[in-house]
Amino acid sequence: MIRRTHLKVPGKEGFTLLEVILSMGIMALLAASVYAITSSSITAARLSMDQQLVLRRLDAFLRVTRGAFLNLPGKGTVSLQMAKGSGGEAEPQLVLGKVQGLFGIPSLGGGSLVLTARARSDGTRTITMLRIPANSTDRELEAAMNAPGVPLLPKVRKPRWSFLAGANGDGTPAWKEEWPSGSPRPLLVRLQLDIDEIPDSVEAIFYVPPIK
Amino acid sequence: MMMSNLDLKKRATGCTQGFTLFEVLIALAVFMLAVTGLAVALNTALQVALEVRQRSFCRAELESRLAFCQAVPPPVGSTRVLEASKNHGVKVEEFLIPWPLKNGKGLDVQGLKKLTIKTQSGNQTNSAEIITN
């Protein structure tokens, strides 16, 4: 029979099981706290970046749309039509007719500008700008309406256009949801929509220059 | 390999005794400082992002209200207030006051008014003043 002998050298006893478990526990706590902070910071940074991107796109969209309204010439028209999208869903289309120039650049001008809310497979919509050339044939018109266009604002839900025609009897503004083709020019156009990354709904009011 | 008596003595006395409590506490303090710094930096970044969002909303709302006041100006001499809870998170104050102005000959220019619009989203504010007739 072999007998094991342990030589105890002073100062070389090593750690006890309790010490090892305790130190591992502390290490685990520290590692968990570092992991929690790092992972939450990464998540928050990503959310913040997404929000910044959305805000920047919203800002650019509002600037482009305000510019389109402000550059509407005297004979320009404003109307809202409901079209059917490729999936059969209703697609509100704001039509700025007889525009002379786009965004104040006459060389791009002529025809109509259409702001349409294209439905996407994930249930959101993308507000897209289409340009319909002046004096286009039916085929050209159809091609222009089905063109990809310029996507201005993605991840939009429930876009609602309304138009200010005047005041109600009690002096409150009379917003109308419908503004068919042939209507006179509204005083103001309002767009209300929800965006996934923004908790509150977004509302923008566009000034339509009056006809002099 | 033979160890000298000196080596054995060193091992037994000082070099392998682990960390003292003081060293561990210092290391923990340094670690906690680093973690706290990270948390503060993260918090600041989030605050800045929130402020940027609020500032952006303030400006967008200001432009919208300027457009609205062109068509439906507030009554002269009184303040029109829209509470944030009823106006997608942005508080708006608009007021229109008569604006006395003299021309080059010292005569009053009649009918001028000053429109002031203030918007507030969270703790960010923005304002605009225009003279209209």
- The residue among A56, A114, A143, A24 whose CA lies nearest residue B56 is A56
pLDDT tens, A57-67? 999 999 989 98
Residues from chain A that touch B70, judged by Cβ atoms under 8 A, are 207
Do the Cβ atoms of B53 and A51 come within 8 Å?
yes
Model ipTM value: 0.76
pLDDT tens, A8-62? 666 666 788 888 899 899 889 988 988 888 888 888 888 888 888 989 999 999 9
Q: Are A121 and A159 in contact (CB under 8 A)?
A: no
- Which portions of chain A are predicted below pLDDT 50? none
Residue B1: pLDDT band (50, 70, 90) is very low
In terms of pTM, does the model score above 0.80? no
Helix (H) or strand (E) holding A21: helix A17-70
Separation between Cα atoms, residue A117 and residue A94, nearest integer Å: 9
Do the Cβ atoms of A10 and B52 come within 8 Å?
no
Contacts with A66 (C-beta within 8 Å, 6 or more apart), sequence order: A206, A207, B63
pLDDT tens, B41-61? 888 888 888 898 899 999 999
Q: How far is A10 from chain B (nearest CA, A)?
A: 6
Give the tokens for residue B3: 């160890």
Q: Are A51 and A197 in contact (CB under 8 A)?
A: yes
- The residue among A182, A179, A176, A151 whose CA lies nearest residue A164 is A176
Q: Where are the domains of chain A?
A: 51-154
